Structure formats: C-alpha cells, structure tokens
Amino acid sequence: MKTFRTTIRVRYCETDKMGVVHHSNYVKYCEIARWETFRHLGTSCKELEDKGYFFPVISMNFQFIKPALYDDEIEIITKLKELKGAKMFLEYELYNKNNELINKAETTLAIVKQENMLPCKPPLEIKKLFEM
Amino acid sequence: MKTFRTTIRVRYCETDKMGVVHHSNYVKYCEIARWETFRHLGTSCKELEDKGYFFPVISMNFQFIKPALYDDEIEIITKLKELKGAKMFLEYELYNKNNELINKAETTLAIVKQENMLPCKPPLEIKKLFEM
Amino acid sequence: MKTFRTTIRVRYCETDKMGVVHHSNYVKYCEIARWETFRHLGTSCKELEDKGYFFPVISMNFQFIKPALYDDEIEIITKLKELKGAKMFLEYELYNKNNELINKAETTLAIVKQENMLPCKPPLEIKKLFEM
Amino acid sequence: MKTFRTTIRVRYCETDKMGVVHHSNYVKYCEIARWETFRHLGTSCKELEDKGYFFPVISMNFQFIKPALYDDEIEIITKLKELKGAKMFLEYELYNKNNELINKAETTLAIVKQENMLPCKPPLEIKKLFEM
C-alpha cells in the first residue's frame, strides 16, 4: 500500500478558546495531505480537475487522541488504501514532534465528472497511484 | 430521546471551487446545532464552560449524501443519544429545503475539567438533558 | 443612506487561543451582513449571481476596538454608502450586547460579469438599493 | 527596514464558489507570514506568548489586485515597518508565480500583557527585530 508523509504547521487561526486546534481543522489537514501525496506520486488534484474530474468527500471518520497546539509541526501519513469503482479509500495518521499518534482518520472520495457530477471510471493517473 | 431542530444558512465563505459547501463546514454546522440544542433545553456551552468544563470532540463520523449550496437553509436535527460516563454521544441529520437528507453525522464528546483536562463526572445540567 | 441591522452569534470555531474571536472572522461577519442587507432590501447575492454577476471584494479595512467572545450576539449595521461605476462602497459598525462599538469596517466590491470577470454596469436591482 | 519572504500554497478549502481564494484567507496568509518572519529573525510568536504576551490585531487594510487560485504558490514579502510604543506596523506584498503583485496589506498589532490585556513595553526580542 502506497504511503506518503506530509508535514504541516498549526496556524494561529486554527486554534480555538480551549487553546488547542479546533477539530474541524483536521479535516483540512487530511485534505492537504492527500493532495500532497498525489503530487508526490506524480499527479495533482489541480491537474486532474483540469481534465474534468472532481473528488467530493462522501464519508469521513476522525478519532481525536491527543490535542495539537499552535505552532506544532504535525506529520501526516496518508495511505492510499483502495480504489473500488468510482471510490477512493484513504487513511491518515497524524503524529506530533514526540512521535505520538494524535489523530486517525479515514475518508472516502468519489470520482465524478464535472460535466454531470456523476461517478465515473477513474482516470489512468489515479489507477496508477493505487497500483503502485 | 431528546431531539431539537436548528436552522443555519450557508455562508458564501463556506463554499469551495466545486460550487458547493466544503465538507469541513459540516463539522461546524453540527457544533452550532448541538450547542443550540443545549441552549434550547435549558443550559449552554458557555454557561457550562464558565463552570469549569470543556467538551472536546473525541470522534466524529460524517456521511455526505447530497451537496448544499450557497444561501441554502439547512435544518439540523440533533439527537442527544446517550450519556455514558464522561462521554456524550450525539447524532445529527441535515435536511435541505426540499426535505431531502443531505448529511448524517455522529460525534462523541468528552466531558473534562478545565483545570486538568481530565474526564470527569458530568455536571447535573448535562445529566438532566440526557434524561429528558 | 440605506442601513440595515443584522445579528450574528459568535461560533465556537471562530475563537482562537487568545479566547476571543479571531480577527479573520470579522471579514466573514461583514460578508454575511451585506448580503442580508441586500436580501432585506429586496434582492440577494444568490439571485444576482444567478443573473450572471459576481461581486469580488477589491479592498477592505477593519478597525478592531473591543474583542468579541464566544456566544456573543453581535449586531452589525451595514451602510450602503455609494455606488460609483462598477464599484459598491459599504460601511459596517459592529456592536456587542452592551451597545459598545467593537469593530468598524469598510469594503469596496466590484461588480463584474461572470463570463469575463470584467467590471460592468450595475444591474438595476443594485442601482435601486443605493437610490433608496 | 527588515523584510522576509514566506511561501504558502493555496488550500482547496480556501477557495470559494467564484473559483478563487476567498478574501478572508488573505488575513490568514499575512498572519502566517508575519510569524514566519519573526521566526526567521530569531524569535517566534509562540515563544513570545510563552513569556506572557499577546499580539492582537487592531487594524488591517487589504487591497485585492489579482485573484489567487487553488494550488497557487504565493510569495509573501513581510516588512517590519515600525515599532511605536506598544504598536507594531507591518506591511505585506503578495506575489504569484508570474511575479505579479496580487495583494497589498497593512496590519497594526498591539503588544499586550496576557495578565491584563493592556498595552505594554515591547519585549527586547521585538525591539531587536525592528532595529535590525
């Protein structure tokens, strides 16, 4: 299974009054991580969108294990788990600087044509990624 | 089981280049819906925080069924499903103006003391809500 | 000059680790306020976009006078100050529950055609708003 | 005058239904840029907050010249313009990959003590930055 490591740094605006990262931002972190993984493996979300595809999230699941703080560097390991019909299954593990697992997530993305927003055959670029 | 209906209107800044609501915003919608539910039932997140509690999300799960668009009014039905130890289990259903289910979600929140961020006995106000 | 009052309530996710509303959210509050003002006066951003227009912000200016807190209700007074060629000039004053001015803002919006993103003659609906 | 270049990449969630970066995100970009500038010059927002300071924005001013698109790399030049009493004056210029100026901004930040949120003498670390 193909995996890739992305690092992000927590922004001030991503914290909330509890003093930690607001839980909605992990959704954004995983979005960044998956497209950086795609880019690293040879294509990109932008390139694929330019070819007429969109990749809406159809389900997501997050486990919050430890909080992240402002200015923390977080390493995100993205796993391209499975491509099945017009669906991509991805998994994420987020680690802090002490190498502690702080978050686990799963997202399922649909592959759709922009012209009709309907599920479609995955483009070759995506097939390749999942076969690596 | 106690349920309550909240209505939100999609903000321009919540859309993305696909022309629909970015999936991270459903996390915020459910956050608004649960605290409005609490307020309606007689307490509020702010009031409880002023008494020394925090309510971090420890897991969340979202199913995206139909997209929401800019300016849409979305009705969110929040169910206070269960209180078990220091954990609250909540469920959400989001409907558009045509009464179509567009999103289903579950969140689990911990009840912690601000002074040590450790799980604690739920305050009476919360017990009451779940026993209604 | 046409003015209108909108009320918003501060969301949890809009606070930051200082315990107050993150300054970027005031930009969103004014966006909500201006389109609610339009709606109140008889048209809406969505309706105008459906007719082929976009309204990108070309400048903005914010003065932060007092902080806003989680769960605060904020009243926003929007003034449609001037329509000049393809530019709309708007002003905003934000007040807390104690009727204290907490923020002052100005935004300039361009009126452009979606087909070419170029400035264009304001639609009649907008002319009417500024002549009221 | 001390300047520093930071690069950010536009995130998917930062776009809106116009297909470009939502204007509120430039506020976040400048926030990132100023603290990366501080870090580069030898201190950091986090370090200074740990010493008891906060740096609330008291005014901001943005000129939008050209739109930014998803996945664009944007270079932000931050200028530490002036330190005057308990106020820091900063300026920003944002450039796209074609070296076109897309945004100009100014922010004024207060230097306050966390214990009372009142303006205070700038810490030595900040004085040094502005004297460089």
As a whole number of angstroms, the distance between CA B72 and CA B12 comes to 10
What is the percent of chain B where pLDDT is above 70? Answer: 99
pLDDT tens, per residue, chain D with 132 residues: 689 999 999 999 999 999 999 999 999 999 999 999 999 999 999 999 999 999 999 999 999 999 999 999 999 999 999 999 999 999 999 999 999 999 999 999 999 999 999 999 999 999 999 998
* Chain C contact for D62 (CB, 8 A cutoff): yes
Domain that holds residue A21: 2-131
- Average pLDDT in the B16-39 region? 98
What is the percent of chain C where pLDDT is above 90? Answer: 97
Whether B28 has a pLDDT exceeding 90, the answer reads yes
As a whole number of angstroms, the distance between CA C31 and CA D14 comes to 16
CATH number for the domain spanning B70: value is 3.10.129.10
What is the percent of chain A where pLDDT is above 70? Answer: 99
What is the percent of chain A where pLDDT is above 90? Answer: 97
Q: What confidence tens digit (pLDDT) does each residue in C7-45 have?
A: 999 999 999 999 999 999 999 999 999 999 999 999 999
- Report ipTM (2 d.p.): 0.97
Q: What confidence tens digit (pLDDT) does each residue in B93-129 have?
A: 999 999 999 999 999 999 999 999 999 999 999 999 9
> How many domains are contained in chain A?
1
**Predicted pLDDT at C74:** 98
* Chain A contact for D28 (CB, 8 A cutoff): yes
- Average pLDDT in the A77-100 region? 98
* Pick from D52, D132, D123: nearest CA to D86: D123
**For an interface test with D, which of A7, A12, A70, A97 has the most D Cβ atoms less than 10 Å from its Cβ?**
A12
Task: State the pLDDT confidence band at B31, using cuts at 50, 70 and 90.
Answer: very high
Report the b/e string of C94-112 with b at 16+ CB within 10 A: bbbeeeeebbbbbbbbbbb
**Predicted pLDDT at D132:** 81
Find all residues with CB under 8 Å of B65, minimum gap 6, and list them.
Answer: B100, B101, B102, B103, B104
At residue A80, what are phi and psi to the nearest 5 degrees?
Answer: -80, 100
Q: What confidence tens digit (pLDDT) does each residue in C36-87 have?
A: 999 999 999 999 999 999 999 999 999 999 999 999 999 999 999 999 999 9
Judging contacts by C-beta atoms under 8 Å, the chain B residues touching residue D15 are 16-17
Q: What is the DSSP letter of A120?
A: -
Judging contacts by C-beta atoms under 8 Å, the chain B residues touching residue A20 are 56
**Predicted pLDDT at C132:** 81
Whether A1 has a pLDDT exceeding 80, the answer reads no
Contact C71, B46 (CB under 8 A): yes
As a whole number of angstroms, the distance between CA D6 and CA D68 comes to 16
**Predicted pLDDT at B55:** 98
**Predicted pLDDT at D2:** 84
Q: Residue A16 catalytic?
A: yes
- Average pLDDT in the A28-54 region? 97
As a whole number of angstroms, the distance between CA B121 and CA C108 comes to 52
**Predicted pLDDT at B2:** 85
Chain C neighbours (≥3 Cβ pairs under 8 A) are: A, B, D
A positions 70-99 inside 8 Å of C (CB): 70
Q: Do B13 and D19 touch (CB under 8 A)?
A: no
- Average pLDDT in the B79-100 region? 98
**For an interface test with C, which of B11, B24, B60, B107 has the most C Cβ atoms less than 10 Å from its Cβ?**
B11
Q: What is the DSSP letter of D20?
A: S
**Predicted pLDDT at B76:** 98
- Average pLDDT in the C86-115 region? 98
Instruction: Calculate the average pLDDT of chain C.
Output: 97
